C-alpha cells in the first residue's frame, strides 16, 4: 500500500542521511563526535564498520520496499516465464519435422562444461530468432558419449534429427530459404544475426524492464532452464544429494575456480576474498533477523564448489563457525557412475545445480561455471539479478554484442587520476567494474578510455526484434 511504502521510504531516507552525517564526521575527525568517543579521534576502522551496518540497515529498508510488490512481482515473473517457455515448446515441437525449418548445433566445442552449455544457449537463441527448431548433435560428447540427451531431456519431442543435409550458416538473409542450417561456434560466425546476448526481446522489454534488474541474464536463463531440464534419473540423483547433504536455506554459494584457469584466464583468489562477501551477506541477514525475531542467528551454511579439492578442507579449517557443504563430486554407486559416463560430469552438474539454488553467490564471473549458475538462478526467483558478488568480471556472455551504459550524471575527471570526463547522456562502452565504486570503459563521444564512478551511469538494454510466436498461444 502507499502508506507502507511511504513509511519505508522515510525510514530509508533517515538511514541514508545518517550515513552522510557520519562521513561528514569522518572528514573532520578529531574535533567531532566527542560524546561518542570522548577524548579521541574517531578511528577510521570503527567508523567504516558502523557505516557498513547502517548501509545494511538501509538496504533492508530497500528490500522491504521491494517486498511490498512481492505479489505482483511473483505473478508477473511467472507469467513471463510461462509465456517464453510456451513459445520455446512451440518452436521445438513442430507437427511435421520433415517440413520444419531447422538449426543444427554441434556440441563439440573444445571447452569445459559451462562453455559448452553457453554454446548451446547461443545456438538456441539464434534458432528462436530465426524461427528454426534447434537440433542438438551431441553423439560422442566429451562429457558423455551417449550425448546431451542421456543427461537432460531432449530439446524436442518431435524433431531430433535434421532433414537432409545441413548448409553452413552465412547470414540470416543468405540462408533464409534453406531448410536446415548448421551454426558454427560464435567465435567463427560470419554475418552474425542480432539474436545474441546481451540483447533482449523487444516485445517483452517493457514488462522485463519493470520486473528484473538484469533482463539480459533473465533471457539467457530462459534458454538454459529449458535445455537443462534433468532426465528423471538425474532429478532423482539431485534430490538425493539435496537430502543427504542437508541443503537448506539460508545458504550462500561460493565457487572457487583454480587449476588450469589461474594465471591464464583469471587471477588466483584466496578463500578469504570470497568469504568476505559471504560474511557480509550473513551479517545483513542476522541484522534483519534481529529486527524480526530478537536474538536468533542464522546457521551460516555455504555451498562450496571448486575444481580444486584442497579448498573445501581449507575453508572448514579457517571458518569453523560456518557449515560447508559441497563434497558431492563423486557418485557412490556404480550404476550412477555409468549413467554419467565421464566421472567429472556429475561433479560439475551437481555443483552448478546447487550453486543456482543458493540465496547468493560469491564467485568469479570469469568462470562460465558461475555464470551458468547465476543464469539458472534467475529462473528460480522473480529477480535474482543482485544476488551475487563477482571478484573479477562483470556479467558477460562470450560473443555478446557490446555492453553499453549511459551517463545520468556528468563527471569531471580529477587530475592525476585515470578518470574520464562524461556529459549527461554520453554512451559508455563498459569494459569492467573495479568494485571500488569505479568502472572502466570508453566514452563513445570523446573516445577516451578510463575510469568513471559506477553510480553515474545506467544500463542500456539492447532491444532486439525477435519473433513473437503468436501461434504458440493458439
Ligand atoms: P571456465 O573455464 O571456468 O570458464 O568454465 P568451463 O565450464 O568452460 O570449464 C571449467 C571446467 O572445470 C568445468 O566444466 C568443470 O569440468 C571444471 N570445474 C570448474 N569448476 C568446477 C566446480 O566448481 N566443480 C566441479 N565439479 N568442476 C568444476
Q: For atom 18 of ligand 1, which residue has the closest CA?
A: 307
Looking at the CA of residue 114, tell me the nearest atom of ligand 1: 7
Determine the distance separating the centroid of ligand 1 and the alpha carbon of 414, expressed in angstroms.
Answer: 41
CB-ligand 1 contact for 262 (6 Å cutoff):
no
Residues 221-245, mean pLDDT to the nearest whole number: 96
Q: Is the CB of 137 under 6 A from ligand 1?
A: no
In terms of Cα–Cα distance, which of 344, 336, 360, 338 is closest to 309? Answer: 344
367 lines ligand 1 (CB under 6 A): yes
**Antiparallel, parallel or unpaired: β 438-443 and 449-453:** antiparallel
Residue nearest to atom 8 of ligand 1 (CA): 112
Helix (H) or strand (E) holding 181: strand 180-183
Residue 349 Cα to ligand 1 middle (Å): 10
The CA distance from 267 to 473, in Å, is 48
Beta-carbon neighbour count of residue 170 at 10 Å?
14
pLDDT tens for residues 80-130? Answer: 999 999 999 999 999 999 999 999 999 989 999 999 999 999 999 999 999
What value, to the nearest 5°, has the Cα angle with vertex 244 and ends 239 and 246?
95
The model's pLDDT over 328-365, given as tens digits with 9 standing for 90+, comes to 766 678 888 889 987 789 999 999 999 999 999 999 99
Q: What pLDDT is recorded for position 115? A: 97
**E strands, 82-170, where?**
102-106, 133-137, 167-168
Protein residue with least CA distance to atom 28, ligand 1: 307
**Closest-CA residue to 389 (of 359, 414, 422, 418):** 359
Residue nearest ligand 1's atom 6 by CA? 112
Q: Is the CB of 304 under 6 A from ligand 1?
A: no
Atom of ligand 1 nearest to the CA of 346: 26
pLDDT (tens digit per residue) in 255-266: 999 999 999 999
Q: What is the pLDDT of residues 312-321, one digit of tens each?
A: 999 999 999 9
Amino acid at each position: 500500500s502507499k502508506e507502507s511504502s511511504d513509511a519505508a521510504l522515510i525510514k530509508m531516507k533517515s538511514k541514508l542521511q545518517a550515513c552522510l552525517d557520519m562521513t561528514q564526521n569522518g572528514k573532520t575527525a578529531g574535533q567531532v563526535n566527542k560524546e561518542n568517543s570522548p577524548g579521541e579521534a574517531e578511528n577510521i576502522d570503527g567508523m567504516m564498520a558502523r557505516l557498513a551496518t547502517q548501509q545494511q540497515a538501509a538496504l533492508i529498508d530497500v528490500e522491504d520496499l521491494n517486498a511490498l510488490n512481492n505479489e505482483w512481482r511473483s505473478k508477473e515473473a511467472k507469467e513471463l516465464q510461462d509465456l517464453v517457455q510456451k513459445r520455446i515448446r512451440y518452436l521445438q515441437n513442430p507437427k511435421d519435422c520433415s517440413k520444419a525449418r531447422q538449426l543444427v548445433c554441434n556440441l563439440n566445442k573444445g571447452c569445459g562444461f559451462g562453455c559448452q552449455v553457453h554454446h548451446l544457449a547461443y545456438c538456441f537463441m539464434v534458432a528462436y530468432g530465426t524461427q528454426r527448431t534447434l537440433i542438438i548433435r551431441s553423439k560422442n560428447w566429451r562429457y558423455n558419449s551417449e550425448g546431451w540427451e542421456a543427461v537432460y531431456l531432449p530439446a524436442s519431442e518431435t524433431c531430433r534429427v535434421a532433414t537432409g543435409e545441413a548448409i553452413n550458416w552465412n547470414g540470416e538473409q543468405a540462408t533464409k530459404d534453406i531448410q536446415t542450417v548448421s551454426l558454427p561456434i560464435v567465435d567463427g560466425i560470419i554475418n552474425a544475426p542480432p539474436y545474441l546476448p546481451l540483447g533482449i526481446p523487444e516485445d517483452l522489454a517493457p514488462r522485463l524492464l519493470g520486473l528484473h534488474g538484469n533482463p539480459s541474464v533473465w533471457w539467457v536463463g530462459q534458454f538454459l532452464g529449458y535445455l537443462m531440464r534433468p532426465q528423471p534419473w538425474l532429478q532423482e540423483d539431485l534430490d538425493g544429494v539435496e537430502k543427504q547433504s542437508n541443503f537448506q536455506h539460508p545458504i550462500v554459494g561460493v565457487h572457487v575456480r583454480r587449476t588450469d584457469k589461474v594465471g591464464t584466464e583469471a587471477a588466483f583468489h584466496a578463500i578469504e576474498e570470497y568469504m568476505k562477501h559471504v560474511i557480509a551477506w550473513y551479517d545483513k541477514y542476522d541484522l534483519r533477523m534481529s529486527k524480526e525475531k530478537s536474538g536468533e542467528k542464522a546457521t551460516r551454511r555455504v555451498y562450496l564448489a571448486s575444481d580444486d579439492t584442497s579448498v573445501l578442507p581449507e575453508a572448514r579449517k579457517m571458518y569453523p563457525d560456518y557449515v560447508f557443504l559441497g563434497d558431492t563430486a563423486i557418485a557412490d554407486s556404480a550404476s550412477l557412475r555409468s549413467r554419467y559416463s565421464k566421472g567429472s560430469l556429475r561433479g560439475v552438474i551437481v555443483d552448478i545445480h546447487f550453486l543456482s539454488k543458493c540465496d547468493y553467490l560469491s564467485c568469479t564471473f570469469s568462470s562460465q561455471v558461475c555464470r551458468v549458475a547465476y543464469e539458472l538462478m534467475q529462473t528460480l526467483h522473480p529477480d535474482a539479478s543482485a544476488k551475487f558478488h563477482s571478484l573479477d568480471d562483470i556479467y558477460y556472455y562470450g560473443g555478446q554484442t557490446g555492453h553499453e551504459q549511459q551517463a545520468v550524471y556528468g563527471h569531471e575527471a580529477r587530475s592525476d587520476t585515470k578518470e574520464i570526463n562524461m556529459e549527461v547522456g554520453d554512451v559508455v562502452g563498459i569494459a569492467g567494474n573495479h568494485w571500488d565504486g569505479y568502472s572502466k570503459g570508453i566514452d563513445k563521444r570523446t573516445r577516451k578510455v578510463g575510469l568513471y564512478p559506477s553510480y553515474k551511469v545506467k544500463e542500456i538494454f539492447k532491444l532486439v526484434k525477435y519473433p513473437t510466436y503468436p501461434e504458440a498461444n493458439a
